[in-house]
Amino acid sequence: MNNPLSTITLFFSLLLLQVLILNNILFLGFINPYVYIAFVFYFPLKENRIPFLFYCFLLGISIDFFSDTGGIHAISIVFIAYIRLFFIRLYLKKTAIDYPFFNLNSEPFGKVFNYVVTLTVIHHFIYFSFANFSFQNFSNVLLNTLFSSIFTLILFFLGAFIFKKKN
């Protein structure tokens, strides 16, 4: 996961997966998974965070281009990209020395679960609040956040389990 080529592959495969397949799921008419945020979880930790923030912005804005949402995906993914480090310190207890050796797959499942769930819920809440863009139908925002988060998390953990390299 530390070489640039796999990052680029991840970027484009997540983008295409999201816009061509996942955006058309609409389970029960409104529940949609947003698995592209896996990019934030799998991007290697580095001391210099500016490229990371920039790539996340690029991914978000590309998805916005495809789904006609202005800049909403970009807002929410850049936000969780910025606060990622805080939750890595909080849940996974990593310091600057651990960054080059950090690998999400080798961490204990419970901690990874907390970390992924928190960021997913925050992302979805910001996304749906901006997509709704008013205080009308606010219960819809909460329901959408809840159901879509569950859907995203199921897909993310299934995908992580399938693509996990056997050591």
Partner 1 sequence: MQQIIYFFQKFKYFLFFLLLEIIALSLTFNNLDFHRSKFVNSANNLTGGFYSQYSNISDFFNLRTENKRLSEENTYLKNLLAKKSYLDSLKELEFTVIDSSKFKQKYSYTAAKIINNNYSKQFNFLTVNKGQKDGISKEMAAFNSKGIIGITENTSTNYTRIQSILNRDSRINARLKNTNYFGTLSWDGKDYKTVQLYDIPRQAPLKIGDTIETDGKSTIFPEGILIGTISKINNGNTADNKVDVTLFNDMSNLGYIYIVKNFDKIEIKNLENNE
Contact 2, 44 (CB under 8 A): yes
Please, what is the minimum distance in Å from the beta carbon of residue 112 to partner 1?
24
In the block, tokens 């979880």 appear at 41
**E strands of the chain, at which residues?**
none
Phi, psi torsion values for 34, nearest 5 degrees: -120, 75
Please, what is the minimum distance in Å from the beta carbon of residue 54 to partner 1?
7
Q: Judged by CB, which is closer to partner 1: 82, or 102?
A: 82
Q: Judged by CB, which is closer to partner 1: 136, or 167?
A: 136
Q: Judged by CB, which is closer to partner 1: 65, or 102?
A: 65
Residue 149 vs residues 10, 31, 152: alpha-carbon distances, Å = 21, 9, 5
Give dist(CA 33, CA 27) in Å, integer.
9
Interface contacts to partner 1, rule CB under 8 A:
19-20, 26, 29-30, 32, 49-50, 53-54, 57, 60-61, 64-72, 74-75, 78-79, 82, 130-134, 136-137, 140
Q: Judged by CB, which is closer to partner 1: 77, or 116?
A: 77
Please, what is the minimum distance in Å from the beta carbon of residue 91 to partner 1?
20
Give dist(CA 41, CA 124) in Å, integer.
15
Please, what is the minimum distance in Å from the beta carbon of residue 109 to partner 1?
29
